Every structure is written in structure tokens, then in C-alpha cells.
Amino acid sequence: MAELSTLARPYAKAAFEYAVDAADLKGWSDSLKAASVVSQEEKVVQLLGAPGYTSEQQATNTIEICGDAINEKAQGFLRVLAENKRLGLLPQISKQFEALKANREKTIDITVVSAVQLNDVQKNKLASALSAKLEREVNMQASVDVGLIGGAVVRAGDTVIDGSIRGKLSKLAQVLHS
């Protein structure tokens, strides 16, 4: 997976820099997300892997499937990807573009899994605390997992804060067994 990420990085950076210069981060973000979803469809995966199609045919077919979901500049970007045999990297390119966009906009997506449903006051307090700690605007998604017994698990990018009772019991068991 790291290999695909490494291959996708220069394309994501190029698209991001172009989008910044054109003041169209949202348009590029939407276009890359749409192209990414299309590129993962079974028929498109087969198309991209078929040796009988030229790069131009692969790009044209992908663009046609995307339709109005991608802008004209993004269509040109897809053609460049096709010429370089990199259309299969669209999911990684889109993901890295979104990370660059979030970094520029000082936002972060956070997932909170708690043992009980959080009310609005609790969500707001948690979002405020995480926003201050991470120095970013927080976009929080909350869900419930009764298997946690109590507490919550917070995921922000690569950071995981396990404040669940299940997590604490697991740590205690590891200490007792070592």
C-alpha cells in the first residue's frame, strides 16, 4: 500500500497546487472524489486492466462515465493519469488531496465511538476540547459500540485515544501477563 501512496503523492500535490492557484479546492475535491468512486467500479477496474484499450480510450471512457461530476480541468488531469498508466491511483490521489486540503483549511475529521449515545452538549464539549488541543476545526462523527462497556475511543487521523473501559481492561491484562 505504501507503494501506491508514494506513486500517488506527486499527482495529488500537482492537483492540489493547481486547485489552490485556480481558487477551486472544492471543485477539484468533488471531481477527484467522483473519479475515485468511478475508478473503483468493477467494470471500470476491468477496463483499466484490459490490454486492448489505449490510454486515450481508458481516459475517454472513464470521463464519460463520470459525466458532469468532473470539471474540464479534471478531465485533462485524468488524461495525464491515463497517459502515465496511473488511473488506478485515483483513490489514493483523492485521499491525499483531501489530506492536503484539510491541512490548508485547518480542519480534521474525527470519529468518536462511545459506549452510550452522546448528547449535543457532550459532543460540543468534546469537539471544543479536541479543536483546542489539535488547533484545527473538528468535523466529528459519533457512533455507539456497547462492547466498549464505558468511555469512548477517539480517532483523529493516525492518533487514537482509547478512553474505553474495554481498552483499560486490555492494558491491565497485558501488564498482568508480562
DSSP secondary structure string for all residues of 103-166: HHHTEEEEEEEESS---HHHHHHHHHHHHHHHTSEEEEEEEE-GGG-SSEEEEETTEEEE--HH
Task: Name the least confident of 11-25, 43-57, 75-89, 125-139.
Answer: 43-57
The 8-class DSSP code of residue 1 comes to -
Task: Please give the helix or strand (H or E) that residue 6 lies within, else none.
Answer: helix 2-21
Residue 54: strand, helix, or coil: coil
Smallest CA-to-CA distance from 21 within 10, 33, 13 is with: 13
As a CATH number, domain 2-102 is: 1.10.520.20
The arithmetic mean of pLDDT across residues 57-70, rounded, is 90
Task: Name the amino acid, one letter, at 79.
Answer: R
Rounded mean pLDDT, 13-40 = 94
Looking at the predicted structure, is the pLDDT value of residue 84 above 90? yes
47-60 average pLDDT score: 86
Mean pLDDT within 106-130: 92
**Residue 31, C-beta contacts closer than 8 angstroms, at least 6 positions apart:** 66, 69, 70, 71, 74
Answer yes or no: are the C-beta atoms of 151 and 126 closer than 8 Å. no
* Among candidate residues 74, 60, 62, 99, the one with its CA nearest the CA of residue 24: 74
pLDDT above 80 (res 137): yes
CA atoms within 13 A on the CB side of 167: 14
Q: Which of 37-46, 84-93, 108-117 shows the lowest mean pLDDT across its residues? A: 37-46
For the cut 80, the answer to whether the pLDDT of residue 2 exceeds it is: no
